[in-house]
Structure 1
Amino acid sequence: MIAIDVADAALSERLLASLADVPGLRLARRGEAADVTVVAADATTAADADATLTRREFEVLALMAEGASNKAIARRLGISVHTAKFHVGSLLDKLDATGRTDAVAQAVRQGVIHL
């Protein structure tokens, strides 16, 4: 379950709309407990401009935070395993992480997601 915690109402609505059709993904209602919370990054939370994540990378990161394998990520997002691996690799690079667990930990430390 994913919650969206973004002050900009228009951005929040766009995020909700883009995530609404992801198979197997449930969005939390306001105030409802979530496994992962997506927040808008700003200059104080993002490491640098290169660390800006795409919508798909946020989806992959949320699934990684749930412990999903590349195969599970691919299945849930309707993409190939190769594409899932590409997104995971991109996240590792952007978050300067040494592995999947470190990527999630880095994202939490940078305020990209909240667990």
Structure 2
Amino acid sequence: MSGEGLPVIVVAIEIEDAAVADRLASALGEAPGIRLAAPGEEAAVALVSRGPPNVAARTDVELTPRERDVLLMMAEGASNKTIARRLGISVHTAKFHVASLLDKLDATGRTDAVAHAARLGVINL
């Protein structure tokens, strides 16, 4: 038990990126009720890095620069008319780009496309 009567939670940090591991250790080291595990010590909680996001999933979606522009505007909630106006294209062409994005991202709608793109690392929200 810690001095405040809280149970002590032993946390192991198993993260390959040393800078991230050091930042976590520094932040957790000062938290009440948490103690960092010694090397080889069993811990109640382990923070483990699983490596980079699925790189294959990120590279299988290739967007044109224009599609990327349209996707970013979709993420802002822009309508086809707004997208067309901002890009200097017709509404028909904006609709074409949106449809292409839905197909490439295997999405059921605009929101789904933005969510898929964010999960795949295609855009950062």
TM-score range, shorter chain: 0.5 to 0.7
Tell me, in whole angstroms, the C-alpha distance in 1 between the residues paired with 2:111 and 2:56.
23
Q: How does the TM-score come out when normalised to structure 1?
A: 0.59
> Which structure is larger by alpha-carbon Rg, 1 or 2?
2
Q: Are 1:57 and 1:87, in contact at CA under 8 Å, matched by a contact in 2?
A: yes
Aligned-partner residue type, residue 94 of structure 2 = A
Structure 1 residue runs of 5 or longer lacking an equivalent are 1-41
Note the C-alpha offset of 1:44. 3.4
Note the C-alpha offset of 1:92. 0.1
Instruction: Give 1:83's aligned residue.
Output: 93
Structure 2 residue runs of 5 or longer lacking an equivalent are 1-53
Tell me, in whole angstroms, the C-alpha distance in 1 between the residues paired with 2:57 and 2:75.
18
1:73 and 2:65 matched: no
How many corresponding residue pairs?
72
Tell me, in whole angstroms, the C-alpha distance in 1 between the residues paired with 2:59 and 2:124.
16
Aligned-partner residue type, residue 100 of structure 1 = R
12, 23, 46: which one aligns with 2:58:
46
Tell me, in whole angstroms, the C-alpha distance in 2 between the residues paired with 1:46 and 1:60.
18
Instruction: Give 1:59's aligned residue.
Output: 69
Q: How does the TM-score come out when normalised to structure 2?
A: 0.55
Tell me, in whole angstroms, the C-alpha distance in 1 between the residues paired with 2:103 and 2:59.
12
Note the C-alpha offset of 1:46. 2.0
